[in-house]
Amino acid sequence: MKGIQLKSAAQIAKLREANLVVAEVLDVLAAAAAPGVSTWELDQLAVKQLKHLKAESAFLGYRGYPAVLCASLNNAIVHGIPRKDLVLKDGDILSLDFGAFKDGWCGDSARTLEMCPISPQAHALVEATRESLDKAIARCGIGQRLGDVSWAVQSHVEARGFSVVRQFAGHGIGRHMHEPPQVPNYGEAGKGPRLMVGMVIAVEPMVNQGSPDVVIEDDGWTALTKDGSLSAHFEHSVAITENGPMVLSRA
């Protein structure tokens, strides 16, 4: 598997430390996210938590990205730039994607929050996306193929009438946020490279309520659904181990 760097148990332990930072920050943000709060305020809270945990942002400055947090609201899929004028309200869904470096190793995770009460359709989208990540993680065993992971996402969400975003994908992770292999959220079971002990991948379903098509906002970053439908996003960093998948970003 060209370019893939297998990690030792000690290196996976370091990745676990970085991902626990990410999980703790996301927990704090989830507790703070409520109607009346802006996505900019959440970004500032993430900055404060990073400093407290003595970690560095994986996002700030990456290819010019201007914040430590990606906050994607409703029809924003990923890479939403936090803004003072984006204020949460009842019925919204908010996807928070966050990455951090700790001692030179990267953690990366995402989750979609519900500003209740939300519509049954929005809740079904969020739940299907969350479930698809769990099903993909269950496929992260030794000898499974990468296509098995991808198909687990696609088959679950499409059976429920939703669509998988194809323009973005999960990825390997280690000393860099993005490493080989690419981990699409669609594919054919039984195809692709076999998973091996020491591989660490970030699996991140991005699922739209309507069409899978994407447009990029004028800010050059925020990815929106082309048809204006809602989108949800979940992500965990997962290590392939002899004892099965280890979810590094789950506290």
Tell me what pLDDT residue 136 has. 98
Tell me what pLDDT residue 155 has. 98
pTM of the prediction? 0.97
Question: Which residue is listed with tokens 């699409």?
Answer: 184
DSSP structural state of residue 190: T
Question: Could you tell me the domains of the chain?
Answer: 9-247 (3.90.230.10)
The amino acid at residue 190 is: G
CA angle at 136 for the pair 148 and 238, rounded to the nearest 5°:
110
Environment class of 121 (CB within 10 Å of its CB; exposed 0-12, middle 13-18, buried 19+)? exposed
Q: With CA atoms as reference, report the closest residue to 115 among 10, 241, 230.
A: 230
Tell me what pLDDT residue 111 has. 98
Strand partners, 108: 99
Give CA–CA dist 77/89, Å, rounded. Answer: 18
Tell me what pLDDT residue 1 has. 57
What's the token pair of residue 79?
């890479």
With beta carbons less than 8 A apart as the criterion, state whether 157 and 232 touch.
no
Tell me what pLDDT residue 234 has. 98
The pLDDT profile of the chain, 251 residues, written as one tens digit per residue, is 578 999 999 999 999 999 999 999 999 999 999 999 999 999 999 999 999 999 999 999 999 999 999 999 999 999 999 999 999 999 999 999 999 999 999 999 999 999 999 999 999 999 999 999 999 999 999 999 999 999 999 999 999 999 999 999 999 999 999 999 999 999 999 999 999 999 999 999 999 999 999 999 999 999 999 999 999 999 999 999 999 999 999 98
With beta carbons less than 8 A apart as the criterion, state whether 74 and 211 touch.
no
What's the token pair of residue 7?
């990690």
What's the token pair of residue 205?
């379903």
